[in-house]
Chain A
Amino acid sequence: MSDDFLRVDRLTKAYGANIVVRGVGFAFARGEFISLLGPSGCGKTTILRMIAGFETPSSGTIHVDGRDITGLRPDQRRLGMVFQAYALFPNLTVGDNIGFGLKVAGVGREERRARVEEMLRLIGLPGFERRYPYELSGGQQQRVALARAIAPRPRLLLLDEPLSALDAKIRVALREQIRAIQRDLGITTVFVTHDQEEALSISDRIVVMNAGNIEQTGTPHDIYNRPATRFVAAFVGQLNHIETVVADPAARTVTIDGQPATLPALPEGAAAGTPVTFTLRPEMLSIGPRPGNDVTLAGTVADVSFLGSVIRMRVSLGRNVVSLDTFNDRRAAPPARGEPVTVSLSSRDLLAL
């Protein structure tokens, strides 16, 4: 699978002196589901709007299927887009909304009707043709907006935070449905979100952005487990920062609040007595020993939050306070605050950033 169906080269967007996208480049294969993930103002929506043609790049090019579309108007690009605010046409029925792109393209009435029916079946709303948008729930409206975007068979589907305006439960259900439909149709999709859980759960690949730059591009597994920068590590998922002091560089030993630990490697040039900060995901820590964990630390429980299937604890090791997640076990009550516990981890999971 070649990575050149959607190719963005050195894309820059500036509003006067304010540069919001700084020479961004990426390439993705046909049929991939790509997420642009980042905090507000990182430039992800601007990139999506430049791909759509609603913003003109200050420099750089956008190619879709080998063709340069940078200079084309939005109506010439043959793309589909779903907006955060649904943007269904209030004066048109569900059927006319879905058939709008086909009608504009001059598709005949019968063919249009058949395609609308097919789309309604696909989104699980058969028989809704004659309803108006105000008669539908938010989730149903967004499904209609999705059907409207894919009805004209676009080359690329753009999703601009389509789940942000929905309640939590509907959001999860709809994101699964979007992914299933995307897989069924094999349509290349660019999804903009600031929600890391959404991006991790739905994407083939994720582009993590910050301040107009790409921090890392990779699969959800890579992004989560091998963050390339401190920003990615902090933005995607929860993260513990553990402050250590180098004890013996030759033996690769450090102390964590006075407790010794031997690590596979230390940052280059780390001299004895210098502080080094490592990061670690909460789920990499466990209460008590676990096979494969070679570092054991003593601490006391500072706080316990019961989150349903997961129990999140904060354990004080001294100056370091770490978060750790364990699964709920109905046969054993979680430790109480102030209770002394032993925490174990694998030294290979510690990342020096």
Chain B
Amino acid sequence: MKPSKFWAWAAFALGAAYFLVPLLATFEFSLRMRRGYYSFDSYASVFSDPAFQATFLYSSLIGVLAIVLGVLVVVPAVYFVRLRLPRLRPLMEFVTLLPLVIPAIVLVYGYIRLYNSSSLIPFTGSALGTDILLTCAYVTLALPYMYRAVDTGMRAIDVRTLTEAARILGASTATIIARIILPNILVAVLSGAFLTFAIVIGEFTIASLLNRPAFGPYLQNIGANRAYEPSALAIISFLVTWGAMGMIQLLARFAPRTSVRTD
């Protein structure tokens, strides 16, 4: 083996160990619920807990709603900025980065001040209102990822020419976005969607402070009160996130193929 390769593998092994050792330790610990030998009892305990099912379902539903709302907001915004207002792109880049800079706790306190039950728009006055607020908060939280995914997707296709080609054939703007633009950036949109889902499933701060029965606060609650189940939940959360990431990798294979040829 050449020395350069040896050091490359050594660096890789060190990096991998940094991530894998705690994960393996957590996994090993999650199997120790029964004294004396390994079992999946902690996993059985988690899966049979009605609160687990309810909170996971709730977060999944909010995640799907956040994805739909995110796509409806981001895709037309990126499309019009690319097509008609390219000068606004730097501003758009900056605005979509803000959720990474502003801590979630600041965001949620802002929401509570602005939309509390005695305000003009009392979103937090009802469970449904708070759910809507939570969905909007997650759209904001996932904005940096959704925006970049969609923007990358649109960069890969010639948005202007495809729009003009469809336009002169008689298509309206809604038809162009729905039938031409969206299908051609679907893989990019889906990767943004899975990132959004991964964020929503594990999010604690906003859900907890808005007092909603989400999966993040449930994780925290179990972590504070049980011994082995939190480890099992940590592994389950990892698997969900990895599943979402794996789907992104899988979908990348179906990205639209370029058809630029001169022959």
Contacts and interface: CB of A to CB of B under 8 A. Distances in A.
A169 to B, nearest CB: 9
B157 A138 contact: no
Nearest to A100: B169
Interface string A173-194: 0000000000000000000000
Interface residues of A, number: 39
Q: Which of the listed residues B161, B172, B258, B262 has the most CB atoms from chain A within 10 Å of its own CB? A: B262
A329 interface: no
Interface in A75-133: 75, 77-81, 83, 85-91, 100-101, 104-105, 132-133
Contact of A90 (B157, B168, B262): B157
A141 B128 CA distance: 52
Contacts of A38: none
B164 A85 contact: no
A88 B259 contact: yes
Nearest to A76: B170
Contacts of A138: 260-263
B56 to A, nearest CB: 34
A149 B166 CA distance: 10
Contacts of B158: 85, 87
B103 interface: no
Interface string B241-262: 0000000000000001111111
Contacts of A136: 259, 261
Contacts of B184: 89-91
Contacts of A165: 260, 262
Contacts of A88: 165, 259
Contacts of A134: 257-259
A138 B261 CA distance: 5
B110 interface: no
Interface string B136-171: 000000000000000000000110011011111111
Contacts of B165: 81, 83, 87-89, 145, 148
Contacts, number: 94
B contact residues, range: 20 to 34
A104 B176 CA distance: 10
A214 to B, nearest CB: 25
B175 interface: yes
Q: Which of the listed residues B157, B161, B180, B259 has the most CB atoms from chain A within 10 Å of its own CB? A: B259
A91 B170 contact: no
Contact of B161 (A75, A85, A104, A152): A85
B183 to A, nearest CB: 4
B169 A148 contact: yes
Nearest 9 A-B pairs (CB), nearest first?
A101-B169, A138-B261, A91-B183, A87-B165, A134-B257, A133-B259, A134-B259, A87-B161, A90-B256
Interface of B: 157-158, 161-162, 164-172, 175, 180, 183-184, 256-263
8 contacts: A75-B167, A86-B259, A87-B162, A89-B162, A104-B170, A134-B257, A138-B262, A170-B263
